[in-house]
A = this chain, B = another copy of it.
């Protein structure tokens, strides 16, 4: 199972929970996950798509548009950020190293401690950085596991500003998931740039009483201010009403891509 980040990254924690007996393969960038799936290095990949506080991970949405892998599962992880350093004294800490999204999630904590925030490409990578460079006035924000793997001190736990902090991960593979009775289906579609075109697509869901659990727009990158829409709906594409709505959407969209149907994750 391939994930982005270094050992101890939140994505690796998800990979280990889902496939405890499988090897985890670390990759530097999100794009590398899709490449490792394409070239057969890994059968499964795990990607964060959305955080309950910060919102969508835009880059993943763009990569999902181009992949031929399918979504075969989802997982919700409660995010518990720790302050991690070489030495055990919080008083000497002046600078915080972490991924920009982790920094954003601990904004109030960082401000009230008057720390300076320095963005890095990965939470667990920040822990390794301050360990290797023997930085004494800096600390990283990362998981407890990242501290343990690197044998570093935990100065503070649960430093995230909001406690209802969950990240939603998707599992990518070639594996189609059968209906479980409690499923979600993820779709991407484009619309003609006309008044009400989104309304007429949503009407298809509304008349069939299909619940939208998420709607997100992303630039098409082809023409400025034209958007693709990313929609999650309740149900499986093999369910009759979902199957019907997909059929009717084909006539009302410029393109339609079914990312996959999968069992809903639990929080």
Residues of A within 8 A of B (CB): 51-55, 58-59, 100, 104, 119-121, 162, 164, 166, 195-196, 198-200, 202-203, 205-206, 209-219, 221-225, 227, 267
Residues of B within 8 Å of A211, CB to CB, are 195
The 7 closest A-B pairs by CB, nearest first: A52-B224, A196-B206, A199-B206, A195-B211, A199-B202, A119-B119, A164-B224
Does the CB pair A212–B198 fall under 8 Å? yes
Residue of B nearest to A104 (CB): B59
The CA-CA distance from A121 to B116 in the complex, in Å, is: 11
Residues of B within 8 Å of A199, CB to CB, are 199, 202-203, 205-206
Residue of B nearest to A212 (CB): B198
Does the CB pair B213–A225 fall under 8 Å? yes
Interface contacts beyond A54-B58, A119-B120, A195-B210: sample of 7 additional A-B pairs, CB < 8 Å, sorted by A: A55-B58, A119-B119, A198-B212, A199-B202, A199-B206, A216-B216, A224-B267
Residues of B within 8 Å of A58, CB to CB, are 54-55
Q: How far is the CB of A138 from chain B (nearest CB, A)?
A: 16
Residues of B within 8 Å of A53, CB to CB, are 219, 221
Identical chains in the assembly: 2
Q: How far is the CB of A134 from chain B (nearest CB, A)?
A: 20
The CA-CA distance from A206 to B194 in the complex, in Å, is: 11
Residues of B within 8 Å of A227, CB to CB, are 214
The CA-CA distance from A100 to B213 in the complex, in Å, is: 29
Residue of B nearest to A162 (CB): B221
The CA-CA distance from A215 to B199 in the complex, in Å, is: 12
Kindly identify which residue among B121, B195, B209, B225 contacts A52, using a CB–CB cutoff of 8 Å: B225
The CA-CA distance from A51 to B224 in the complex, in Å, is: 9
Residues of B within 8 Å of A219, CB to CB, are 51-55
Known contacts A55-B218, A216-B217, A219-B55; is-contact A209 B225 (Cβ 8 Å) = no
The CA-CA distance from A234 to B222 in the complex, in Å, is: 23
Q: How far is the CB of A175 from chain B (nearest CB, A)?
A: 25
Does the CB pair A209–B195 fall under 8 Å? yes
Does the CB pair A202–B198 fall under 8 Å? yes
Known contacts A196-B205, A198-B202; is-contact A119 B104 (Cβ 8 Å) = no
The CA-CA distance from A162 to B221 in the complex, in Å, is: 8
Q: How far is the CB of A225 from chain B (nearest CB, A)?
A: 6
Residues of B within 8 Å of A217, CB to CB, are 55, 214-216
